[in-house]
Amino acid sequence: MKAEIKTKQGVRTPLTTDDVRNIHNLCEELIDIIVERKKTWVSTFAQQTAEDIMDVLIDIKVDIDDWGAAHAEEMHDDGFLSPVGQK
């Protein structure tokens, strides 16, 4: 009897300092867009929802900055990273 085993594995590369910077900048840009668009909205619900989204983006930005300062890996000029844990 032949048994078939299916597995699914995902491998993710470690975050680099460039990744952290890009995510930080993306959050900043999205926050700026929300601030500008919110000024033109009359709907209280839409404004409150925009503020909730902005709060989440701020949390993401702070968390990624803190995590990146402690754990992000520096990409070398050759496009490779040092082995994890060896900076």
Q: What is the pTM of this model?
A: 0.74
DSSP structural state of residue 6? -
Q: Is residue 27 part of a domain?
A: yes
Q: Is residue 85 part of a domain?
A: no
For the stretch 57-67, pLDDT in tens is: 999 999 999 99
For the stretch 66-80, pLDDT in tens is: 999 888 888 888 877
d(CA 7, CA 63): 32
Q: Is residue 79 part of a domain?
A: no
Q: Is residue 82 part of a domain?
A: no
Cβ-Cβ contacts under 8 Å for 36 (sequence gap 6 or more): none
Q: Is residue 34 part of a domain?
A: yes
d(CA 64, CA 16): 11
pLDDT for position 11: 63
Number of folded domains that form the chain = 1
d(CA 15, CA 48): 32
Residue 31 has pLDDT above 90, yes or no: yes
Q: Is residue 66 part of a domain?
A: yes
Q: How far is CA 74 from CA 13, 39, 71, in A?
A: 12, 39, 10
Domain span at 65: 17-71
d(CA 34, CA 40): 10
For the chain, what is the mean pLDDT? 87
| pLDDT confidence tier of residue 87, bands split at 50, 70 and 90 | low
Q: Is residue 87 part of a domain?
A: no
Q: Is residue 3 part of a domain?
A: no
